[in-house]
Structure 1
Amino acid sequence: MKRERLTMSQALVKFLDNQYIEFDGVESKFVSGIFGIFGHGCVVGVGQALEQGGHNLKFYQGKNEQNMALAAVAYAKHKDRKAIIPCVSSIGPGATNMVTACGCATANRIPLLVLPGDTFACRQPDPVLQQAEFFDNYGRTVTDAFKGVCHYFDRINRPEQLMTACLNAMRVLTDPADTGAVCLAMPQDVEGEAYDYPEHFLKKRVWHIDRRPIAKSQLDRAVRMIKESKKPIIICGGGVRYSDAEKQLLAFAEKYNIPIAETQAGKGIIPWQNPLNLGGIGVTGGKAANVIGRDADLVIGVGTRFSDFTTSSKWLFNENRKVLAINICPFDAYKMDAEAVVADAREALDALADALNGYKTKYNDEISKAKAEWDAIVDDYYTKELDGGLNQTLALGIINEFMGDEDIALGSAGSLPGDMQRLFRPKGRGTYHMEYGFSNMGYEVNGALGAKLAKPEAEVYTFCGDGSFLMGHSELYTAVQEGLKINVCLFDNLGWGCIENLQNNQGTDTFGTVFRARNPKTGMLDGAEIAVDFAKIAEGYGAKGYSIHNSAELRAALEDAKKRTEPVLFDIKVLPKTMTPGFESWWRVGVAEVSKSESVRAAYDDMQKNIKKTFDY
């Protein structure tokens, strides 16, 4: 058996460079680059292996470990989980900075490989710089924190352990049912230790993503449930996108006249203009999908994990409805006490379309009326000017209308995801990119870099609030460094407006959710507003900044930015509390059971009434 003597890090780089996937007969490279921030835990290990060359991995220099890993999440998401950019860090804080990004990847079912440095396996330089010591377990290090947010965790304490670690990492990263974050912790001494690695481990390896067919028994049960229903509704989730099943879903819906509602991950797959597409459903959904969904007698979930936002905390659907869940992941397929179809979405929809011949729903004009009413509501939000400044929904409408057919809209947290699920009208397949499984503030700017790396020919418009921008935007500098134009649409409403609304709606006065100076008279954060010139921050990085206070300035800035090649930031000053409200939905949050405030007590009573309308599973 031929072998090659390499350090663990050199073998890791060579292994990653030779990983490919095959899906529907198309073979593609799975790893084409690596994000990294070097420190003493990795610069002479993986850093040395990358520097010496002999590979085809492009190195991207991150500026913050969490943010570069969020960019990697966005890259994999926009590649429909068919390519990744692993992330390398030093030990200690460099490693733990990536824990949040791993939580984001796992919550969203996105493959992310993190390679944090770790303390010495030999334990001789002890304790090393940046090592946290645990008195109860000498073998525990801070990288154990990754175990709670990863689908696979391994610590490579000997160089030969790399082989089983890498194979199991790839098993999870390429598994459509079990994918998420993967952590391979790498003690810094082991990174430089050598082993005679067998040639078969280092050669090209193709991982096949096979479609799981629907079992006949599952098909029979699903057909029986659908035929017994009169007014079913389809919930289109992100699994439809990852299965490339949008054509099959639409053909199935049109053949049997079944309305379609969208989750955040499923939005932008079916054209919004289609007469059966009722738009977003749930807490951040619109009136059309929520009204039709409330009256449905069968909920057909396709590739959705049935989050509390999709189901309105299990409040939305009527008590007599049944649930049929088509999902490649058994964990998701059995949610909501559903009849589970554990199969690939495309395979299942094709089989159902053939097996249901003769079936017809009992809808009359309910679908068309609900859609027409909702389209008119969206038109009104997108065109209405308010006195006193620029409202958030108008600004969103102007940008939405301006964007080209292939331009990407990206978001994650705050009030904008609600506005976007309700109002945004994607113009092409894959042009709506929302991370909402984790609602990870700080994802937006960094995610825009990842989406741009995934599709460099497209314009990427990322939508974030001022609060989210302040939490993490370091990879704006990386975009400048790489010559990648991203468009940052920053909606400045002087605080965390979404949470302030939630706070006020549950009876609590505004507290700690707006950005104001400390008031010396009250000792509270209720002093003067603090104006921030975000355009100047962008210009300090080398991007182009625009200060915007009205619709005319926004339109002019969008036109000018189209001519630019560097990243741009639109500092859009919007009126607070001008986001959309909820439509026929409810979200369960914990309200104080006892309070001196009458409004809080009323909110608690209201919560109890709504809890009685939900289902206990």
Structure 2
Amino acid sequence: MSHEQTVRLTVAQAVVKFLTHQYSVLDEDRQRFIPSAAGIFGHGNVAGFSQAFSQYADDIPFIQGRNEQALAHAGSALAKASNRKQTLAVTASIGPGAMNLVTASALATVNRLPLLLLPGDTYATKRQGPVLQELENPQDPNLTVNDAFRPVSAFFDRITRPEQLITSLPKAFRVLANPAETGAVVLSLPQDIQSHAYDFPVSLFRDRDWTIRRTIPQPKEIDEVAAVLASARKPLLIAGGGVHYSQAREALVDFADATGIPVAETFGGKGAALHDADWVLGGIGLEGNPATNRLVAQADVILSVGTRLTDFSTGSQTMFKNPDVRFASINITELDALKQGAVAVLSDARLGLEALSQKLSEFSVPAEWSTEIAEQKADWAVLRGRALDPDTAFDKQAPENAELRIPDTDAVITQGQLIGLLQEQAQSGDTLIAAAGGPPGDLLKVWDATGDRRCHLEFGFSCMGYEIPAGIGVRLAEPQNTGRVSVFIGDGTFLMNPTEILTAAQEHLDITYVISENHGFQVIRRLQMMKYGEQFGNDFRYRDEDDATRLSGDYLHVDLGEIASGLGATTIRATNTDEIRAALDDTRDAHGPIAIVVPTIPLVDLPGSEVFWDVAPAEVAEQEWVSTLRTDYENGLKDQKWHI
């Protein structure tokens, strides 16, 4: 009787060795699933995982970070930028180190991005009694803080015996590679178990390919969706992130070119249109452009492809105003496919669009719908051009701005004009990153991502602090790409989590940070004014010496450039359009992190989307103006409809 050859390894060594042999395969594209690892060591993983990563450093590079959450965000950004074909493995110590990963775990799972987390855990043997950073639960001695990962991960396993890895590791990678199930995969590893040795079968460490499978559409489902679209007079397609992940952009172009069906993009779907065309509408929903949203309101058939259809895309269920509107969908996840009561194709986005194109080979939208699309696009082009034109002086004292009470700062351009300058400088292969606050909404509304001027927006979890580490992940996704990787953030997001600039410097990564200095959490201030009617706690101001109950003094004196410079970035403060153009142009080929700080005029927004969002003002309040806002809100609720 033959016995399989074994190799004696610790648990940590076995995990790391296993990682070096895993490959993702999408069609003919094969690459390392985990090209790098990252982490911060503490007493809960230093004896086990630091030794293991050191031992295998030649096979899997290790990135040292400043914050565990940020490193995990870099892993999610790598996954997004690589169309879910790669991610990072991130290790952390027990207690707060592990808990720093929970937010990032939720972000990855909400966005359905593969991410491998290896947090340390308290002792499995328990003979030590309560240990440093252990949470003691009197009803459940087996519960640890790591159980917080369970509701925000796609897969969770606590390894309490070495041999459990033999089945757990393949299960973990099955989830990572499954586009319908993927998200954060968490292997919780007690600190003592990491160092335990076991005779593992050598076969566990063979090279293994994980096929990212394309779900094939069922002909009957294609026929049903094709029939719905063929009867439409005003059809419209909503493109989500699934168009990118399935590499369906060319199929989308072929479908839209042939049928004339206009295409709107969600945050995840931004850039789905490869080139500008009559059918390209741009962003949809609460932060979309008004032309797109007016067309959505008229549409009699909505085809959603690869999207979760959250409230930002549906205007909290108020956008689809045609009384006869019907819904169809293509999605790999049944939960999403059936939303809005859609006639659904459960399939890969590319294969679904290709099959649908064949069925609709004789279909084209009516001429009157094409005319309406062209007119709306033309009207929006004029508004967009005015808002982005960097060479038009903004008059703070103009009559139309009288009610804004624009504060006096050294800024001479708006955030919209700054975006106009970034658009002016953008080239094919460049990537612009944003995730929370004003930038992602502004970019969805006005950024032209055609011509491969990429726009990487994380808005499924809208997580402040994602953006700066995301630059690392995007750069790691294509290390040979000479295109510029830029992170576009406000000062609020910058101050929340700037420390991974140092990691970018440490790794010699070429990343540009464009910081819009507008003195506060301005996008939430805007919402606050709409739903409460008075600014409170969002401007960056000193506490007023005469009224200690309010943060109503002067703006905080913060030198963002000095912070970035101290973390290793080459820093430029650019105030006017000429200086900004020069800064962007002069640093295009520079190496290492670059920070360009631009003062922007607070309280000046891009044109509105004309879409309702269900955020309820207080039903009762001492401030009399709140009742008016509440009435407006209740009137907006009247447009909410369930489509089932």
Question: The TM-score by the shorter chain falls in which range?
Answer: over 0.9
- Paired residues of 1:279 and 1:288 also in contact (CA < 8 A): no
Comparing 496-505 with 55-64, greater Cα deviation is found at: 55-64
* CA deviation after TM superposition for structure 1 residue 53, in Å: 2.8
The match for 1:373 among 363, 373, 379 is: 379
Which amino acid in the other structure matches residue 374 of structure 1?
W
Which string of whole-angstrom CA distances, capped at 9 and with x for unpartnered residues, describes residues 473-525 of structure 1? 22100010111121001111110000000000113310001111111221121
Corresponding residue number in structure 2 for 1:416? 439
Corresponding residue number in structure 1 for 2:356? 352
Asked if 1:11 corresponds to 2:18, the answer is no
CA distance in 2 between counterparts of 1:169 and 1:611 reads 43
* CA deviation after TM superposition for structure 1 residue 37, in Å: 0.5
Which amino acid in the other structure matches residue 498 of structure 2?
H
* CA deviation after TM superposition for structure 1 residue 427, in Å: 4.6
Comparing 292-301 with 20-29, greater Cα deviation is found at: 20-29
Comparing 292-301 with 542-551, greater Cα deviation is found at: 542-551
Which amino acid in the other structure matches residue 436 of structure 2?
A
CA distance in 2 between counterparts of 1:510 and 1:130 reads 40
Corresponding residue number in structure 1 for 2:394? 386
- Paired residues of 2:330 and 2:344 also in contact (CA < 8 A): yes
Corresponding residue number in structure 1 for 2:535? 510
Alignment of 1:323-472 (within 5 A): 323-362=327-366, 363-383=369-389, 384-387=392-395, 389-429=412-452, 431-456=454-479, 457=481, 458-472=483-497
- Paired residues of 2:159 and 2:190 also in contact (CA < 8 A): yes
CA distance in 2 between counterparts of 1:81 and 1:430 reads 20
* CA deviation after TM superposition for structure 1 residue 387, in Å: 3.3
Corresponding residue number in structure 2 for 1:532? 558
Corresponding residue number in structure 1 for 2:570? 544
Which string of whole-angstrom CA distances, capped at 9 and with x for unpartnered residues, describes residues 376-400 of structure 1? 2211111133136221100111012
Corresponding residue number in structure 1 for 2:325? 321
- Paired residues of 1:533 and 1:571 also in contact (CA < 8 A): no
Q: Secondary structure at the match of 1:498?
A: helix
Assess, with a 3 A threshold, how the Cα gap between structure 1 residues 581 and 135 changes in structure 2: closer, same or farther: farther
* CA deviation after TM superposition for structure 1 residue 559, in Å: 2.2
Corresponding residue number in structure 2 for 1:122? 125
Alignment of 1:582-601 (within 5 A): 582-601=608-627
- Identify unmatched segments of 5+ residues in structure 2: 397-411
* CA deviation after TM superposition for structure 1 residue 54, in Å: 7.2
CA distance in 2 between counterparts of 1:206 and 1:40 reads 34
- Paired residues of 2:426 and 2:453 also in contact (CA < 8 A): no
Q: Secondary structure at the match of 2:46?
A: coil
- Paired residues of 1:272 and 1:425 also in contact (CA < 8 A): no
Corresponding residue number in structure 1 for 2:177? 174
Q: Output the TM-score relative to the length of structure 2.
A: 0.94
The match for 1:495 among 508, 515, 520 is: 520
CA distance in 2 between counterparts of 1:392 and 1:89 reads 37
* CA deviation after TM superposition for structure 1 residue 104, in Å: 0.9
- Paired residues of 1:441 and 1:468 also in contact (CA < 8 A): yes
Asked if 1:111 corresponds to 2:133, the answer is no
Comparing 499-508 with 487-496, greater Cα deviation is found at: 499-508
Which string of whole-angstrom CA distances, capped at 9 and with x for unpartnered residues, describes residues 58-109 of structure 1? 1111110011111111111101100111100000000000101111111111
- Paired residues of 2:318 and 2:641 also in contact (CA < 8 A): yes
RMSD: 1.4
- Identify unmatched segments of 5+ residues in structure 1: none
* CA deviation after TM superposition for structure 1 residue 269, in Å: 2.2
Assess, with a 3 A threshold, how the Cα gap between structure 1 residues 536 and 495 changes in structure 2: closer, same or farther: same
Q: Secondary structure at the match of 1:341?
A: strand
Comparing 311-320 with 233-242, greater Cα deviation is found at: 311-320
Corresponding residue number in structure 1 for 2:403? none
Comparing 558-567 with 299-308, greater Cα deviation is found at: 558-567
Assess, with a 3 A threshold, how the Cα gap between structure 1 residues 429 and 549 changes in structure 2: closer, same or farther: closer
CA distance in 2 between counterparts of 1:196 and 1:420 reads 53
- Paired residues of 2:569 and 2:594 also in contact (CA < 8 A): yes
* CA deviation after TM superposition for structure 1 residue 364, in Å: 4.0
Asked if 1:88 corresponds to 2:114, the answer is no
Comparing 498-507 with 384-393, greater Cα deviation is found at: 384-393
- Paired residues of 1:237 and 1:304 also in contact (CA < 8 A): yes
* CA deviation after TM superposition for structure 1 residue 366, in Å: 1.0
Runs (4+) of structure 1 exceeding 6 A deviation are none
Identity of aligned residues (%): 40
Alignment of 1:474-489 (within 5 A): 474-489=499-514
Which amino acid in the other structure matches residue 544 of structure 2?
N
The match for 1:217 among 216, 220, 224 is: 220
- Paired residues of 1:323 and 1:339 also in contact (CA < 8 A): yes
CA distance in 1 between counterparts of 2:594 and 2:378 reads 36
Q: Secondary structure at the match of 2:387?
A: helix
Assess, with a 3 A threshold, how the Cα gap between structure 1 residues 54 and 304 changes in structure 2: closer, same or farther: closer
Q: Secondary structure at the match of 2:286?
A: coil
CA distance in 1 between counterparts of 2:605 and 2:596 reads 18
CA distance in 1 between counterparts of 2:275 and 2:462 reads 23
Comparing 141-150 with 333-342, greater Cα deviation is found at: 333-342
* CA deviation after TM superposition for structure 1 residue 455, in Å: 2.0
CA distance in 1 between counterparts of 2:512 and 2:88 reads 22
Corresponding residue number in structure 2 for 1:144? 147
Q: Output the TM-score relative to the length of structure 1.
A: 0.98
* CA deviation after TM superposition for structure 1 residue 55, in Å: 5.4
- Paired residues of 1:385 and 1:391 also in contact (CA < 8 A): no
Which amino acid in the other structure matches residue 604 of structure 1?
R
CA distance in 1 between counterparts of 2:365 and 2:277 reads 18
Comparing 481-490 with 265-274, greater Cα deviation is found at: 265-274
The match for 1:44 among 39, 43, 47 is: 47
